[in-house]
Amino acid sequence: MTEIRMFKPAMTIRASDFELVSVFGFRISDLLRSSSFLLVFLLLLSGSAAAADNIGILGSKPKWDVLEHYQRTITHDQFTHLINDVYCTHGIPDDLIRIDDNSAQILTSQDGHGVFKLEFAPDEKSQRPVPRLWRPAKSLPPAKPNKPLAGLRIALDPGHLGGRWAKMEERWFQVGDSKPVTEGDLTLRVSRMLAPRLRKLGATVLFVRNSTQPTTPKRPDDFRELAKKILIKNGVPRPRDQVLNPLDPAKEGTVHWQSEMLFYRYSEIRRRAVLVNSKLHPDLVVCLHFNAEGWGDPANPTLIDTNHLHLLVNGSYLQDELDLDDERFEMIRRLLSRAYDEELPIADAVAISMAKATGLPAYQYPTTQTTTKVGTSGYVYARNLLATRLYRCPVVYCEPYVMNSKDAFARIEAGDYDDTKEINGVQRQSIFREYADSVAEGLREYYTKIRCGAGQ
């Protein structure tokens, strides 16, 4: 990695690690495109890896050897389809991945110029089985119509943290003296309502987070040195320590803000990935979020008329992400696991069910720079988020409801209740039940179709 590449303006934004284009897209990315600090490769993994390693934040050196297990599990046409239409939709430089008739050669390290050679299966008949710990619906035994999720392990991942952490994560706003809206508490609430619905359909339900507390044992103070190094490396030679106030326009340039983000985003999500991959071993992870549009001052937020829905699956890697050795490896590993073949139809089924229940229109990203529309429902995008990339199984990432829309805000404030209530002149179900019911219904439909025979 050269200095020049590090400071190329496009390298300064890792939009894919921000889940809310609409919140962060305006503030952070615009700022960072010009000032370049949030950036992000570093280097300083746990002290052991060489400083020159071309690795994402808090990432670890890729183990390319494990991909040997995927030799001849995929044909040339299947591989190029996934590369062109899902993972590398913004193009792929020849020096990183080269594809010929019989194999793909993938650069393993920007420094050493090593290459991993993946041999294709000559045709579908001679394909070797894909090694994986999770089970696609097709591989599960038939199920009774009232238990279409029987035997399935589903992990629920309520996005963000709750309680006192919500302000730090900037997932907190308050209108007047009403109850503050905190995304991490809302997502936990929905997850706890979704769990019994899925169990009733036969699933084993696991929680990636089931309290308001972080799963990572680290705290922001653990990242102060790393935060300072990142800032210095990215053109802030003497970074300020503290944020002046929540609207401080230069807050991203402070050690305080950066170390908090290293804690609640990078450390927290990487820790969740360890839990998912080495302890929970689910067949599917459902990530639950509420969306938002920029609300300005969190103590005096802007409420808007816009409200929408979308779901995400992993894909649509940016050039700058592919340049990092660990992300390139993680992308190829994910591609070869064929998680996409399973997560896309699940996301479509859940999207259709949620659209029907909520009546929300599909979100249209203001830019196609970070996302690619996929599937058939019109609500699903491929995007490279930390969670969708690192959890090694199909992941469906739900983004319904704009929390600071007038409608969603009123429904959140109304809390949970039986039957319906009039909200802004319309009889509505509780927003929490609507969310939980519609996700469960989408999963019921998908697994019923495959395991209980069509039309049941």
Residues in the chain: 456
Q: Report the DSSP pairing between strands 372-373 and 380-382.
A: antiparallel
Stretch that binds Zn ion, among 87-95, 152-160, 203-211, 381-389 (CB under 5 A): 152-160
Nearer Cβ to Zn ion (79/381): 381
State which amino acid sits at residue 149.
L
Contacts of 62 (CB under 8 A, 6+ apart): 108, 325, 326, 328, 329, 330
Nearer Cβ to Zn ion (37/401): 401
Q: Please give the DSSP secondary-structure letter assigned to residue 131.
A: P
One of 56, 159, 162, 394 touching Zn ion (CB under 5 A): 159
d(C-alpha 76, C-alpha 7), whole Å: 36
d(C-alpha 235, C-alpha 231), whole Å: 6
Closest distance between Zn ion and the C-beta of residue 310, in Å? 12
Closest distance between Zn ion and the C-beta of residue 50, in Å? 35
d(C-alpha 99, C-alpha 114), whole Å: 16
d(C-alpha 175, C-alpha 188), whole Å: 21
Q: What would the two tokens of residue 32 be?
A: 């960072």
Closest distance between Zn ion and the C-beta of residue 292, in Å? 8
Closest distance between Zn ion and the C-beta of residue 181, in Å? 12
Per CB under 5 A, which of residues 335..354 are in contact with Zn ion? none
Per CB under 5 A, which of residues 425..444 are in contact with Zn ion? none
Q: What would the two tokens of residue 394 be?
A: 């199909």
Closest distance between Zn ion and the C-beta of residue 190, in Å? 12
Nearer Cβ to Zn ion (153/289): 289
φ, ψ of residue 99 in degrees (nearest 5): -120, 125
φ, ψ of residue 327 in degrees (nearest 5): -70, -35
Q: Is 209 in the site for Zn ion (CB under 5 A)?
A: no
Nearest to 449 by CA among 195, 142, 199: 142
Q: What would the two tokens of residue 246 be?
A: 């929540």
Closest distance between Zn ion and the C-beta of residue 204, in Å? 25
Closest distance between Zn ion and the C-beta of residue 210, in Å? 17
Stretch that binds Zn ion, among 58-66, 117-125, 154-162, 229-237 (CB under 5 A): 154-162
Closest distance between Zn ion and the C-beta of residue 386, in Å? 12
DSSP 255-307: HHHHHHHIIIIIIHHHHHHHHIIIII--SEEEEE--B----SSTTSPPPBS--
Nearer Cβ to Zn ion (148/301): 301
φ, ψ of residue 231 in degrees (nearest 5): -65, -45
Per CB under 5 A, which of residues 250..289 are in contact with Zn ion? 289
Binding mask 286-305 for Zn ion (x = CB under 5 A): ---x----------------
Closest distance between Zn ion and the C-beta of residue 20, in Å? 6
Quickly count: other Cβ atoms within 10 Å of residue 401's Cβ: 26
Number of residues that bind Zn ion (CB under 5 A): 2
Closest distance between Zn ion and the C-beta of residue 324, in Å? 23
Closest distance between Zn ion and the C-beta of residue 287, in Å? 8
Listed in order, strand segments (DSSP E) in 108-178 are 115-119, 153-158, 172-173
Nearer Cβ to Zn ion (62/159): 159
Stretch that binds Zn ion, among 151-159, 202-210, 227-235, 280-288 (CB under 5 A): 151-159
Beta pairing partners, 155 = 206, 285
Q: What would the two tokens of residue 152 be?
A: 């399935």
Nearer Cβ to Zn ion (271/289): 289
Q: By 3-state DSSP, what share of the chain in percent is helix, strand and coil, each rounded to 5? A: 40, 15, 45
Q: Please give the DSSP secondary-structure letter assigned to residue 57.
A: T
The residue sitting closest to Zn ion, measured at its beta carbon, is 289
Per CB under 5 A, which of residues 226..245 are in contact with Zn ion? none
Nearer Cβ to Zn ion (55/347): 347
Nearer Cβ to Zn ion (26/417): 26
d(C-alpha 373, C-alpha 282), whole Å: 26
Nearest to 320 by CA among 161, 137, 90, 132: 90
Stretch that binds Zn ion, among 42-50, 74-82, 155-163, 419-427 (CB under 5 A): 155-163
Nearer Cβ to Zn ion (106/286): 286
Nearer Cβ to Zn ion (170/283): 170
Closest distance between Zn ion and the C-beta of residue 395, in Å? 14
Nearer Cβ to Zn ion (185/320): 185
Nearer Cβ to Zn ion (289/389): 289
Question: Would you tell me which residues interact with Zn ion (CB under 5 A)?
Answer: 159, 289
